[in-house]
Amino acid sequence: MRQAESTNLNVLIVCSGLISKTSCDMEVSVEAKRIMVVALGKLYSSRTQRGGLRLHRSLLLTLVMKSARDMYHEAQTTAESAAPGCEHQQQQQHQSTGEVATEPTGVQTELQGPASLATGKPRTLPGEEVVCSPAELRRDAENKENLCPTPHSRKRRGKAAVEPDFLPCKKAKLEQQLIVNSVLLDYVNCSSELGAHPTPMPLQRAIAAC
């Protein structure tokens, strides 16, 4: 039964916007997704590795994931520019504020939605929340809920990476965005010197945690 097939597959189909994609973009997207999933798997399994987390390896995995994510979104944008009516998909692309906090330069290229273009003020720094349109407001509000740390995590979040929309989501949200605790920051918390101060949470996350 087709309905019995994994929900992941359905999500993939919805999110990839098959109708409007070129086959080349499709290949890049699929490849990028696979790479991201593998990277996440490796990052999670490295926590149980003997000898503790390896900073170098974790860094390389994070870079690969970021690179794959960038290419995935680029491919998405190329497809979306061919289909401007899909506002739903555009919102799925938008990065969480968590990510904005960590990659200020990256945000300017990543935010492609009409809302931010209309405002003409791309977000650059975590503190500068430029919210001008209702679509952005709604997205931010929903993102803030998504930014709530998962109940089992004792760690502060840091270099948060956005989990792509095709992975199963614990919260039933339209955007299906999950914030993944950075393994790098876990490493820092595990191995930081005595007396090291934890990084202060950016403002948006503090609100989410309340």
Partner 1 sequence: MEEESDTRKINNSFLRDHNYATEADIISTVEFNSSGELLATGDKGGRVVVFQREQESKSQPQRRGEYNVYSTFQSHEPEFDYLKSLEIEEKINKIKWLPQQNAAYFLLSTNDKTVKLWKISERDKRPEGYNLKDDDGRIRDPSTITSLRVPVLQPMDLMVEATARRVFSNAHTYHINSISVNSDLQTYISTDDLRVNLWNLEITDRSFNIVDIKPANMEELTEVITSAEFHPQQCHTFAYSSSKGSIRLCDMREAALCDKHCKYFEEPEDPSTRSFFSEIISSISDVKFSHNGRYLMTRDYLTVKVWDLQMENKPLETYQVHDYLRGKLCSLYENDCIFDKFECVWNGSDSVIMTGSYNNFFRMFDRNTKRDVTLEASRENSKPRAILKPRKVCVGGKRRKDEISVDSLDFSKKILHTTWHPHENIIAVAATNNLYIFQDKVN
Query: Where on the chain is the footprint of partner 1 (CB under 8 A)?
Result: 31-32, 35, 38, 42, 50-52, 54-57, 59-60, 63-64, 67-68, 71, 101-102, 158-159, 182, 184-185, 188, 190-194, 199
- Residue 171 CB, shortest distance to partner 1, in Å, is 24
163: closest CA among 15, 47, 25? 15
Token pair, residue 44, equals: 């999670």
Least CB distance from residue 38 to partner 1, whole Å?
6
Of 139 and 157, nearer to partner 1 (C-beta) is 157
CB of 62 to partner 1, least distance (A): 9
List, in sequence order, every residue forming a beta bridge with 162; answer none if it has no partner: 179
Instruction: Give the C-alpha separation, 79 to 22, whole Å.
Output: 7
Beta carbon nearer to partner 1, 11 or 71: 71
| Beta carbons of 81 and 18 less than 8 angstroms apart | no
> What's the rounded Cα separation, in Å, for the pair 122 and 161?
19
Name the residue nearer to partner 1 (CB basis): 31 or 129. Answer: 31
Residue 31 Cβ, how far from partner 1 at the closest point, in Å?
7
Q: Count other C-beta atoms under 10 Å from residue 117's C-beta.
A: 12
Which residue in 85, 87, 95, 72 sits closest to 147, CA to CA? 95
